Amino acid sequence: MTEALIIDGVRSPRGRGKKEVGALSTIHPQRVLAQVLNGLKDKVGFDPTDVEDVVTGNNSNTGDHAHDIGRLATLDAGWPISTPGVTLNRFCGSGQQAVTFAAMGILAGHQDLVIGAGVESMSRPSPSNTDGFTANNAHLYEQYPLIPQGISADLIATLEGFSREDVDRYGVMSQERAEASIEEGRFKNSLVPIYHDDGQLALDHDEHPRPGTTLESLAGLNPSFEKMGAWVPEGRTRSADQICKDLYPQIDKVIHVHHAGNSSGVVDGASAILLASPDYASAHGLKPRARIVMTATAGTEPVIMLTAPGPAAEICLRKAGMKVDDIDLFEINEAFASVVLKFQKDLGVPDEKINVCGGAIALGHPIGATGPMLIQTVLDELERQDKSTALIAMCTGGGMGTATIIERV
Ligand SMILES: CC(C)(COP(=O)(O)OP(=O)(O)OC[C@H]1O[C@@H](n2cnc3c(N)ncnc32)[C@H](O)[C@@H]1OP(=O)(O)O)[C@@H](O)C(=O)NCCC(=O)NCCS
């Protein structure tokens, strides 16, 4: 069988996802992705005419993210009209899934040069549905009364016994690691600056981190999801907290521990990874950095929603014939601190192997764009530490997980 080789990847900086505050918030998401695609082209020097698809993850799919943002951004980038683009949605795992599908096209022998990309401008939120994740489907809601993710994260902490100090300690570690990585220039290899249409620089560094965060500074923050948890939406009979208690009767109440300092940051950004078959790479002088060893997806109970990274990682390891100890570095999306703490506890991964450059709590989680960003960050870090293998996993809406194992070549 052929291999799916990672040639290279780039990402935009993550801009704060607040309208008129974030440095990327005035730039159309198609433009942000288009600049990332051209940044990748300039870095690698490939011919976009040969790109057989730009598989793009996006979670919004409405408003400025509407239609097929993969194709629209490719056209906006000025790439040949013969280069197609497609957009997919697996909630937060969309971008990671895009890389997986790009790899699968190559592994199937159907394609030779494909981009796996992602984009999300969270400063331009989608029009919200009245009940969020079920998209107003009352029949589905009766079976699965899906609740906001922050409350699911608090439910995980309650069930697992993670205290407010545990999740705050994790939040501080994310900030400290991100601060050190930025100071040492560890993100530079994959970062491309983003410009306004008039050529003015918009952003060339991650905008979300708060260096100097301490346990004491986080202790002062109020839980973000407490009021939301107690609220009974119009037309409903139960609050989200009550739904949690009904489904998980072993808890007395949901203990709300997550806040702005231990939850992923709301940000704007885009990312892209170039994948090639070995034949194409050698014929065109492209030097691969890594190969995709295995990918997997998993589904778990959708109300608690955020528990599938562990099962996805376990499937991925099993199918690859590998064990946790065979992995040098883990990159587990910091959707919320409790998600990573649960992953670590269930799989037995030590602190020094996981999210060593900081993660989405410090840097932000631009939903559809995060997957390729995590792959790039951990690949840059594998090279810096001269190590070989990494496992990347994410939780997603609807109770799913995505996982990828990569190996340097
Ligand atoms: C938790 C959440 C609701 C907080 O939103 P927010 O209140 O708008 O968060 P902000 O980043 O603006 O921070 C609010 C305040 O908290 C404080 N704060 C945030 N981070 C801090 C830190 N590390 N140290 C100290 N104070 C901090 C600041 O006072 C800040 O206000 P300021 O920006 O005016 O200084 C939001 O980040 C969130 O929803 N995150 C999860 C996103 C998500 O669900 N993604 C999908 C996951 S699967």
- Residue 380 near residue 189 (C-beta atoms within 8 A): yes
> What's the 260 CA to ligand 1 centre distance in angstroms?
3
- What one-character-per-residue DSSP string does 84-100 give? -EEEE-BTBTHHHHHHH
| Residue 365 appears among annotated catalytic residues | yes
| Residue 357 appears among annotated catalytic residues | no
Q: For residue 132, what pLDDT is reported?
A: 65
Task: List the one residue out of 106, 117, 122 whose CA is nearest residue 79.
Answer: 117
* Distance, CA of 299 to CA of 306 (rounded, Å): 10
* Distance, CA of 71 to CA of 56 (rounded, Å): 9
Shortest-distance Cα residue to atom 35 of ligand 1 = 210
* Geometric angle at alpha carbon 254, from 249 and 255, rounded to 5°: 140
Q: For residue 1, what pLDDT is reported?
A: 76
* Mean of all residue pLDDT scores within the chain: 97
Q: Mind listing the pLDDT tens digit for each residue in 95-129?
A: 999 999 999 999 999 999 999 999 999 999 776 55
- What one-character-per-residue DSSP string does 218-233 give? HHTSPPSSHHHHH---
Shortest-distance Cα residue to atom 46 of ligand 1 = 335
% the chain with pLDDT above 70: 99
DSSP-based three-state secondary structure for 207: coil
Q: Mind listing the pLDDT tens digit for each residue in 142-175?
A: 999 999 999 999 999 999 999 999 999 999 999 9
Shortest-distance Cα residue to atom 2 of ligand 1 = 260
Choose the catalytic residue: 28, 65, 92, 357.
92
DSSP 60: -
Residues paired with 407 in a beta bridge: 291, 389
Shortest-distance Cα residue to atom 36 of ligand 1 = 260
Q: For residue 235, what pLDDT is reported?
A: 87
Q: For residue 126, what pLDDT is reported?
A: 74
Q: Mind listing the pLDDT tens digit for each residue in 349-372?
A: 999 999 999 999 999 999 999 999
| Residue 92 appears among annotated catalytic residues | yes
DSSP 161: T
Q: Is 386 exposed, middle or buried (0-12, 13-18, 19+ CB in 10 A)?
A: exposed
Choose the catalytic residue: 244, 316, 357, 395.
395
- What one-character-per-residue DSSP string does 336-369 give? BHHHHHHHHHHHT--GGGBSTT--HHHH---GGG
Q: Write out the two tokens for 159.
A: 């069930």
The kind and range of the H/E element at 309 are helix 309-320
Q: Which residues contact 42 (CB under 8 A, 6 or more apart)?
A: none
Please tell me if the CB atom of residue 221 comes closer than 6 angstroms to any atom of ligand 1: yes
* Distance, CA of 216 to CA of 160 (rounded, Å): 23
The parts of the chain modelled with pLDDT lower than 70 are 127-132
